[in-house]
């Protein structure tokens, strides 16, 4: 059961991120990473102040 679940998740992730890759998804992830980094920098700066 657990092996079947892990294989199903692997197939799903391959289908979404490799087989049906879209540039909008990449743009969304890059924007999310940039926002997270900005948040972390501001948080660290406010903790030091």
Instruction: Determine phi and psi for 17, rounding to 5 degrees.
Output: -95, -15
Give the whole-angstrom CA distance, residue 48 versus residue 18.
Answer: 42
pTM summary value: 0.54
For residues 33-38, average pLDDT: 98
Question: How large is the greatest C-alpha to C-alpha distance in the chain, in angstroms?
Answer: 52
Structural domain contains residue 37: yes
Structural domain contains residue 32: yes
Q: What's the structural domain count of the chain?
A: 1
For residues 40-48, average pLDDT: 95
Fill in the DSSP letter of residue 15: I
Confidence band for 33, pLDDT divided at 50, 70 and 90: very high
User: Which residue range is the domain that position 33 belongs to?
Assistant: 21-49
For residues 19-29, average pLDDT: 84
Per-residue confidence (pLDDT) for residue 11, from 0 to 100: 95
Mean pLDDT of the chain: 91
């Amino acid at each position: 059961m657990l092996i079947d679940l892990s294989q199903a998740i692997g197939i799903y992730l391959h289908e979404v991120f490799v087989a049906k890759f879209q540039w909008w998804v990449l743009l969304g992830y890059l924007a999310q990473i940039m926002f997270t980094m900005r948040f972390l920098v501001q948080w660290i700066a406010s903790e030091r102040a």
